[in-house]
Amino acid sequence: MMPTETEALRAAVQAATQMDLESVKIARIKDTLHLAEIRVSESLLTLCGTKPREFSLL
């Protein structure tokens, strides 16, 4: 178990893909009933449109 959600996500990505964490594109939703808030990785943020302030970085 990792101390934070961010560390757990980083460990999972590295274990599953062996990819560079800077290039991995991840989107996270709480559940399908709460789609108004979507958390995205920084590498995906550039593809999210013209209002990046509405997104949180993982």
Whether residue 6 is contained in a domain is answered as no
Q: What pLDDT, on the 0 to 100 scale, is given for residue 42?
A: 81
> Domain for residue 24, yes or no?
yes
**pLDDT of res. 38:** 82
Rounded to whole angstroms, the Cα distance separating 54 from 3 reads 27
Q: Residue 48: what pLDDT?
A: 76
Residue range 5-54, pLDDT digits in tens: 888 888 887 777 666 767 778 888 888 888 878 888 888 877 776 565 66
Q: What is the pLDDT of residue 36?
A: 79
Describe the chain by its helix, strand, coil percentages, rounded to 5: 35, 10, 55
User: How far is the C-alpha of 39 from the C-alpha of 7, rounded, in Å?
Assistant: 15
Rounded to whole angstroms, the maximal C-alpha distance in the chain is: 36
pTM of the model: 0.52
In a domain, 58, yes or no: yes
Closest by alpha carbon to 27, among 42, 7, 5? 42
The tally of domains found in the chain comes to 1
